[in-house]
């Protein structure tokens, strides 16, 4: 926090805030359609990259605008865009009213992930799925994004440990470590963070999540074999001055989040703090172990933007600190019994720090961007009597140049360097701290010609263990009309594996870990294709999406739990692994009625083939489904939200079937969540105070898989394991909370 305070002070001195305030004005307005307010419309000044959404009364306010003339754009799903010229006067508020007409075209949301530069969803040659923070939380309540990410089509969370709650993100069935998780476009989530670091990302700091399924190694490096999840944090210009969110759950989990957004002249900032505590023991499945890991967590986040003379972004700085203690095990276990050989428990202390910057030097017309990031992750863990103490640091620097050439060609070129350090108390670093320098260069060109857009790119990285690695990709988009879009992408991937940081099974349980060979890096070749079709139903357009995917892995590293019940054997697959399938999705917004819904299903075939024998990959579901809906009762300011998930059968390790009577194939199941939100006052009202309360019921049909443990009665014995996990461990849960916003 001291770093944030120093940065804020420097910004204040530099900005000359008193004089700047005198040159600023506001725009306020109301958006209607057929005399009814339009909720969730986007009001924006594109030239300044500033905007605001409309609230339940159709009202918006855009603040801190320098005096002058601008074009104000209003857009919303199901309506035609409206652009109006507006003059802003210093110290005054300009008020406007807009009337929108129905349209079958979808709103063009701005995304950055697919091409590493701002573009619209519809214009991107790479398909990007955008999920707003509100959509993530429409059915359930959580301060942890890992509890919410499974509401996105094709994404699922795999619970890797039934005692300490380790989890990872899967894209289309591909294992979690193959998913690159970015924060504001920065690939800083190192392998150690994939175990616990993702749990420290609070939805309160998220503006939207951008998801790309398929290879993205050309832009984002070696971890992006299966896809990319880019978490875009909130823009300080669009956040309330002060906000607070408090909730409590029937599991006795409590969370408090407070955020403050100062704005001084050309500086805009956002500071957020989250505290979570869950220390309740309960055992509903009768295995004598806590069903839900105990947690105490503190997460701090700060972000600041310094704008240029014309209020264009010049410098963005963000920092996050995350500290968590989590404990699972028998009722009698507590932190003072860490490492006990009498009472089994798992205790994990985690501390993580992140610092990110983006600088756009003046005089380059926003073409040059210089990014940097530093992260440090420290983990001190006990799994029964096994101690795992590890530290990982990542320093990342990148410079990109975005240059239009003519009217139809856009060139992006850049260079990056990544420095990683890793040290632990396992044989993985018996020779000392593992250090890696990974320099790289990349370039891509985007050509638009008629209804076609072509994107080609190439990345070359140098790894000290593997030499030069190339990652090409090619994408194409065809839009014969405004309502039809075809896309296809192909590319390769490359990933260096660190078993102890990525596979929790190597740490927990009683098995010994064996490496039969020096592990080679995993490689992949992928192709994806998609069709998006908008079907007009009056002013209630429906978007239909069809997606197909195929990824071929070589040198795949898959843990073998079945060759010897006392061992986990790691070696490169003497064959190949394939992930293939397709998905179908529907999304519709009824403009005449305040109802929106979405539904999608993904069918997957994930298997390995070795010595002519094909076998389904363990823990990969045969299909997944996501469905959700919201209904706004505007007359009483109540919103109803619903989310559902469908998960198909998974192959489980065979030795559990033979030795302990567990099923080798898990059953299909579904979970369902409901949430009701009541707004009492709106932040855009005259007093500038917004207050709402919410109530949620999660897993309302109380479906659980039973105990995820094997031989739970003998946790120090040779057969004990914590990874028979395929479904929910926690049954029906209720939450109640309240949210306060001050303008």
Domain-terminating residue out of 99, 122, 150: 99
- Cα 170 from chain centre: 11
- What's the pLDDT band for 623 if we cut at 50, 70, 90? very high
| Cβ(213)–Cβ(154) below 8 Å | yes
Q: Which of 683, 741, 9 is nearest to 304 (CA)?
A: 9
The CA distance from 44 to 546, in Å, is 31
The CA distance from 371 to 28, in Å, is 34
Helices (H) and strands (E) in the chain — how many of each? 7, 42
Q: Residue 104 domain-assigned?
A: no
Instruction: Kindly report the average pLDDT of the chain as a whole number.
Output: 82
Same domain, 307 and 168: yes
Q: What is the pLDDT of residues 369-382, one digit of tens each?
A: 999 999 999 989 99
Q: What is the pLDDT of residues 11-52, one digit of tens each?
A: 444 444 444 445 788 899 999 887 778 877 788 887 776 778
Q: Work out whether strand 567-570 and strand 512-515 pair parallel, antiparallel, or are unpaired.
A: parallel
Q: Which residue has the tokens 């707004």?
A: 679
- 279 burial class (0-12, 13-18, 19+ CB within 10 angstroms)? exposed
Same domain, 184 and 51: no
The CA distance from 596 to 629, in Å, is 6
- Helices assigned H by DSSP within 440-591: 499-502
The CA distance from 575 to 420, in Å, is 30
> How many of the other CB atoms lie within 10 Å of CB of 58?
22
Q: What is the pLDDT of residues 89-114, one digit of tens each?
A: 888 889 989 988 766 555 456 666 66
The CA distance from 335 to 294, in Å, is 11
The CA distance from 180 to 99, in Å, is 42
| Cβ(461)–Cβ(440) below 8 Å | yes
- What's the pLDDT band for 539 if we cut at 50, 70, 90? low
> How many of the other CB atoms lie within 10 Å of CB of 505?
19
pLDDT value at position 531? 95
Q: What is the pLDDT of residues 133-162, one digit of tens each?
A: 877 788 888 888 877 777 787 777 778 888
Same domain, 69 and 186: no
Domain-terminating residue out of 99, 130, 156: 99
CATH of the domain at 69: 2.60.40.10
Q: Give mean pLDDT, residues 681-693.
A: 79
pLDDT value at position 257? 93
pTM: 0.81
- What's the pLDDT band for 83 if we cut at 50, 70, 90? confident
Q: Residue 245 domain-assigned?
A: yes
Name the phi and psi angles at 10, rounded to 5.
-60, -40
Eight-class DSSP state of 19: H
pLDDT value at position 730? 92
Tokens (6 digits) for 71: 């074009």
Which residues share a beta bridge with 74? 43, 82
Q: What is the pLDDT of residues 449-460, one digit of tens each?
A: 999 999 999 989
593: left (phi over 0), alpha (psi -120 to 50) or beta: beta
- What's the pLDDT band for 659 if we cut at 50, 70, 90? low
Q: Residue 512 domain-assigned?
A: yes
Same domain, 324 and 383: yes
- Cα 449 from chain centre: 33
pLDDT value at position 4? 43
Same domain, 116 and 256: yes
> How many of the other CB atoms lie within 10 Å of CB of 120?
12
561 pLDDT above the threshold of 80: no
- Residues across the chain: 743
Name the phi and psi angles at 205, rounded to 5.
-100, 0
- What's the pLDDT band for 353 if we cut at 50, 70, 90? very high
The CA distance from 499 to 554, in Å, is 17
Q: Which residue has the tokens 């409206």?
A: 82
The CA distance from 441 to 468, in Å, is 11
The CA distance from 696 to 730, in Å, is 15
pLDDT: which is higher, 305 or 132: 305
Q: Using CA of residue 702, residue 706, residue 709, residue 714, what is the dihedral sign?
A: positive
Which of 43-57, 165-179, 195-209, 664-678 has maximum average pLDDT?
664-678
Same domain, 42 and 114: no
Eight-class DSSP state of 317: E
238: left (phi over 0), alpha (psi -120 to 50) or beta: alpha
The CA distance from 669 to 727, in Å, is 8
The CA distance from 504 to 383, in Å, is 10
Same domain, 133 and 74: no
Same domain, 171 and 78: no
Q: Using CA of residue 727, residue 730, residue 736, residue 738, what is the dihedral sign?
A: negative
Q: What is the pLDDT of residues 393-440, one digit of tens each?
A: 989 999 999 999 988 999 999 999 989 888 888 766 767 778 888 899
Name the phi and psi angles at 147, rounded to 5.
-80, -15
- Cα 595 from chain centre: 25
Tokens (6 digits) for 415: 């260079």
Tokens (6 digits) for 171: 């894209």
pLDDT: which is higher, 720 or 107: 720
Same domain, 513 and 538: yes
| Cβ(580)–Cβ(605) below 8 Å | yes
pLDDT value at position 582? 93
- At 658, which helix (H) or strand (E)? helix 654-660
pLDDT value at position 224? 67
Q: Residue 620 domain-assigned?
A: yes
Q: What is the pLDDT of residues 185-228, one digit of tens each?
A: 877 766 666 656 666 677 888 888 888 887 666 677 666 677 78
pLDDT value at position 565? 63
Same domain, 114 and 260: yes
| Cβ(743)–Cβ(256) below 8 Å | no
The CA distance from 706 to 502, in Å, is 26
Q: Residue 56 domain-assigned?
A: yes
Q: Residue 337 domain-assigned?
A: yes
Q: Which residue has the tokens 């071929």?
A: 552
**CA distance readout (Å), 643 to 370, 636, 692:** 40, 22, 20
pLDDT value at position 433? 77
Quote the percentage of the chain above a pLDDT of 70.
83
pLDDT value at position 3? 44
Number of domains in the chain: 2
How crowded is the C-beta side of 697, counted as CA atoms within 13 Å?
9
Q: Residue 105 domain-assigned?
A: no
The CA distance from 473 to 528, in Å, is 11
Tokens (6 digits) for 69: 């003339």
Same domain, 375 and 261: yes
Same domain, 89 and 150: no
pLDDT value at position 90? 86
Q: Which of 551, 726, 701, 503 is nearest to 622 (CA)?
A: 726
DSSP 670-739: EEEEEEEEEEEE-TTSTT-EEEEEEEEEESTT--------BSTT-TTSTT-BS----S-SS--EEEEEEE
Eight-class DSSP state of 229: E
Q: Residue 239 domain-assigned?
A: yes
pLDDT value at position 595? 86
Q: Give mean pLDDT, residues 114-122.
A: 73
Domain-terminating residue out of 73, 99, 125: 99
| Cβ(415)–Cβ(396) below 8 Å | no
Q: What is the pLDDT of residues 240-279, one digit of tens each?
A: 889 999 999 999 999 999 999 988 878 889 999 999 999 9
CATH of the domain at 554: 2.40.170.20
500 pLDDT above the threshold of 60: no
77 pLDDT above the threshold of 50: yes
Q: Give mean pLDDT, residues 512-540.
A: 77
The CA distance from 540 to 103, in Å, is 8
Q: Which residues contact 573 (CB under 8 A, 6 or more apart)?
A: 553, 554, 555, 556, 557, 558, 608, 610
pLDDT value at position 369? 92
The CA distance from 278 to 293, in Å, is 8
pLDDT value at position 677? 94
pLDDT value at position 486? 96
pLDDT value at position 16? 44
The CA distance from 279 to 296, in Å, is 8
Residues spanned by the domain of 66 = 2-99
């Amino acid at each position: 926090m001291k770093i944030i305070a120093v940065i804020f002070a420097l910004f204040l001195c530099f900005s000359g805030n008193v004089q700047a305030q005198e040159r600023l004005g506001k725009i306020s307005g109301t958006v209607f359609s057929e005399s009814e307010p339009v909720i969730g419309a986007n009001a924006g000044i594109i030239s300044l990259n500033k905007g605001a959404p409309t609230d339940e009364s159709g009202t918006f306010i855009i603040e801190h605008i320098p005096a002058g003339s601008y074009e104000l754009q209003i857009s919303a799903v199901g309506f035609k865009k409206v652009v109006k010229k507006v003059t802003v006067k210093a110290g005054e508020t300009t008020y406007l009213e807009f009337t929108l007409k129905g349209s079958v075209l979808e709103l063009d949301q701005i995304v950055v992930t697919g091409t590493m530069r701002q573009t619209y969803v519809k214009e991107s040659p790479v398909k990007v799925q955008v999920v707003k923070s509100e959509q993530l939380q429409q059915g359930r309540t959580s301060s942890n994004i890992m509890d919410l990410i499974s509401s996105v089509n094709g994404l699922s969370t795999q619970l890797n440990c039934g005692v300490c709650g380790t989890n990872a993100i899967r894209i289309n069935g591909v294992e979690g470590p193959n998913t690159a998780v970015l924060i504001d476009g920065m690939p800083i989530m190192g392998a150690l963070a994939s175990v616990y670091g993702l749990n420290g990302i609070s939805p309160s700091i998220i503006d939207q999540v951008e998801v790309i399924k398929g290879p993205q190694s050309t832009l984002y490096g070696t971890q992006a074999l299966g896809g990319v999840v880019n978490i875009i944090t909130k823009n300080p210009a669009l956040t309330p001055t002060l906000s607070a969110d408090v909730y409590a759950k029937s599991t006795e989990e409590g969370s408090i989040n407070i955020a403050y957004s100062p704005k001084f002249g050309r500086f805009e900032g956002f500071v957020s703090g989250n505290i979570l505590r869950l220390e309740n023991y309960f055992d509903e499945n009768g295995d004598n172990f806590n069903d839900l890991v105990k947690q105490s967590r503190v997460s701090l986040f700060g972000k600041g933007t310094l704008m240029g003379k014309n209020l264009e972004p010049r410098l963005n700085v963000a920092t996050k600190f995350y500290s968590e203690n989590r404990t699972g095990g028998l009722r009698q276990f507590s932190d003072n019994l860490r490492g006990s050989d009498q009472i089994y428990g798992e205790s994990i202390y985690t501390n993580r720090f992140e610092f990110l910057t983006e600088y756009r030097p003046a005089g380059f017309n926003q073409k040059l961007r210089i990014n940097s990031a530093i992260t440090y992750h420290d983990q001190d863990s006990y799994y029964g009597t096994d101690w795992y103490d590890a530290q990982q640091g990542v320093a990342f620097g990148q410079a990109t140049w975005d240059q239009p050439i003519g009217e139809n060609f856009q060139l992006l070129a850049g260079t990056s360097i990544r420095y990683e350090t890793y040290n632990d108390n396992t044989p993985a670093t018996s020779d000392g701290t593992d250090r890696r320098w990974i320099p790289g260069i990349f370039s891509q060109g985007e050509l638009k010609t008629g209804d076609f857009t072509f994107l080609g790119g190439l990345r070359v990285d140098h790894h000290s263990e593997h030499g030069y690695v190339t990652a090409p990709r090619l994408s194409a988009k065809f839009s014969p009309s405004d309502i039809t879009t075809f896309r296809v992408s192909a590319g390769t991937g490359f990933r260096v594996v660190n078993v102890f940081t990525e596979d929790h099974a190597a740490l927990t349980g009683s098995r010994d870990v064996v490496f039969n060979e020096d592990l080679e890096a995993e490689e992949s070749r992928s192709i994806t294709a998609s069709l998006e079709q908008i079907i007009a139903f009056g002013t209630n357009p429906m978007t239909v999406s069809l997606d197909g995917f195929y990824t071929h892995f070589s040198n795949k590293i898959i843990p073998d739990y079945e060759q010897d019940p006392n061992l986990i054997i790691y070696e490169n697959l003497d064959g190949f692994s394939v992930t293939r399938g397709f998905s179908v999705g529907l999304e519709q917004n009824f403009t005449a009625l305040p109802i929106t819904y979405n539904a999608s299903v993904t069918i997957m075939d994930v298997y390995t083939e070795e010595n002519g024998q094909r076998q389904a990959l363990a823990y990969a579901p045969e299909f997944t489904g996501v469905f959700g809906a919201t209904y706004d009762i505007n007359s009483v300011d109540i919103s109803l939200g619903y989310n559902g998930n469908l998960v198909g059968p998974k192959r489980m390790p065979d030795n559990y079937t033979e030795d302990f009577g567990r099923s080798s194939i898990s059953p299909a199941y579904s979970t369902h969540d409901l949430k009701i939100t009541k707004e009492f006052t709106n932040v855009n009202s005259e007093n500038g105070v917004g207050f709402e309360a919410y109530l949620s019921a999660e897993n309302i049909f109380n479906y659980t898989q039973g105990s995820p443990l094997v031989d739970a009665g003998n946790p120090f014995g040779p057969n004990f394991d914590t990874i028979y996990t395929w479904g929910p461990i926690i049954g029906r849960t209720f939450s109640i909370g309240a949210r306060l916003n001050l303008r």
